[in-house]
Amino acid sequence: MINTRLKIALIQDQPGSGIRDAYMKILLEKNPDIIAFPEYYFVNPDEKNIILSSFRHDEALTQLGDWSANLNCAIIGGSIVTESRGKLYNRSYFIDGGEIVGFYDKIHPYKNEGRGLIEKGTEYRVFIYRGLKIGILICADVLYPDSYSNIRGLRPDLIFVPTTSPFRENETAQVKFARDKRLFVKGAQITRSLIFKVCASGKIGEKRFQARSLIASPSGIAWRNPPEDEDKSALIHTELTNLQNDPRLDIEVFRL
């Protein structure tokens, strides 16, 4: 890692919300270097099939580019259902200065994701940003140990994980926190990186989400959305310093 200062904003919100006016005001004030969105962020909440959002792919990508250019920042574009060579992928774009730098396709989609039409991606990737290596994993990727072991070889400094986490009724905080440690702290230790999980709130169709955004380091959970706020939107702003030695995170949480 290199020694630098970086400002990161996570948008935890209902898919289809765009950037709300109140959050846009905060972003203009804070001027983050990177903004990250949740998985399937451009799926409308009343859509019963995420595949339908693929028809708005170009519109969504244009919107991400406009935000990146207007806010002068890089964007981890959540994920968009993308058609390529007759196949559909759950794709996250990395955009900087309004231009597409690259993309990552989810390698471990759920069995019935998109009614079984979402294909597996084939390649782990990192993207260079201000001398840092930025990795992306998507949601269920973190359930598979090979995801972390494979991306570790690319030596990421930061990993972003756009996520839609299904609501689990009556799940205790103890169980939630144990899973965070097993999946995200362990992942940070394997990759020697900081992990930023950015979750959707609300629902898509009848599928309800629990917004469990978090930030993990090799030494533990630096921040997580508390269980009592898992149904709420939030903007999480982090100022990250001293990356090379002992990273320091100054975290602010804004809610509507």
Q: Which CATH number do you get for residue 58?
A: 3.60.110.10
- Structural contact between residues 75 and 68, judged by C-beta atoms closer than 8 angstroms: yes
Q: Please check whether residue 219 lies inside any domain of the structure.
A: yes
Residue 108, token pair as written in the block: 């471990």
pTM of structure: 0.97
**What residues contact residue 25 under an 8 Å CB cut-off, 6+ apart?**
none
pLDDT band at 245 (very low <50, low <70, confident <90, very high): confident
Q: pLDDT tens digit string along 136-180?
A: 999 999 999 999 999 999 999 999 999 999 999 999 999 999 999
The Cα 207–Cα 19 span in angstroms is 22
Tally the domains of the chain.
1
Q: What pLDDT, on a 0 to 100 scale, did the predictor assign at position 128?
A: 96
- Structural contact between residues 176 and 221, judged by C-beta atoms closer than 8 angstroms: no
Instruction: Out of 25-34, 199-208, 238-247, pick the least confident.
Output: 238-247
Q: pLDDT tens digit string along 19-71?
A: 999 999 999 999 999 999 999 999 998 888 899 899 999 999 999 999 999 99
Q: What pLDDT, on a 0 to 100 scale, did the predictor assign at position 246?
A: 80
pLDDT band at 1 (very low <50, low <70, confident <90, very high): very low
Residue 53, token pair as written in the block: 């959002």
Q: Is the pLDDT of residue 3 over 80?
A: no
Q: Please check whether residue 1 lies inside any domain of the structure.
A: no
Mean of all residue pLDDT scores within the chain: 95
Average pLDDT, integer, range 176-203: 97
Q: What pLDDT, on a 0 to 100 scale, did the predictor assign at position 229?
A: 97
Percentage of the chain modeled with pLDDT above 90: 90
Contacts of residues 244-251 at CB distance under 8 Å and 24 or more positions apart, as own/partner, are 244/1, 244/2, 244/3, 245/3, 247/1, 247/194, 247/217, 249/215, 249/222, 249/223, 251/215, 251/222, 251/223
Higher-confidence position of 113 and 243: 113
Instruction: Out of 9-13, 204-208, 210-214, pick the least confident.
Output: 204-208
Return the bridge partners of 136, or none: 160
Residue 78, token pair as written in the block: 């959540």
Q: pLDDT tens digit string along 133-145?
A: 999 999 999 999 9
Q: Please check whether residue 70 lies inside any domain of the structure.
A: yes
Element (H, E) at 68: helix 57-71
Q: What pLDDT, on a 0 to 100 scale, did the predictor assign at position 16?
A: 95
Query: Domain residues for 178?
Result: 6-254
- Structural contact between residues 231 and 211, judged by C-beta atoms closer than 8 angstroms: yes
Q: What pLDDT, on a 0 to 100 scale, did the predictor assign at position 59?
A: 96
Pick the closest to residue 139 from 173, 169, 104 (CA basis). 104
Q: What pLDDT, on a 0 to 100 scale, did the predictor assign at position 247?
A: 87
Q: Please check whether residue 208 lies inside any domain of the structure.
A: yes
Percentage of the chain modeled with pLDDT above 70: 98
The Cα 233–Cα 239 span in angstroms is 20
Q: What pLDDT, on a 0 to 100 scale, did the predictor assign at position 2?
A: 53
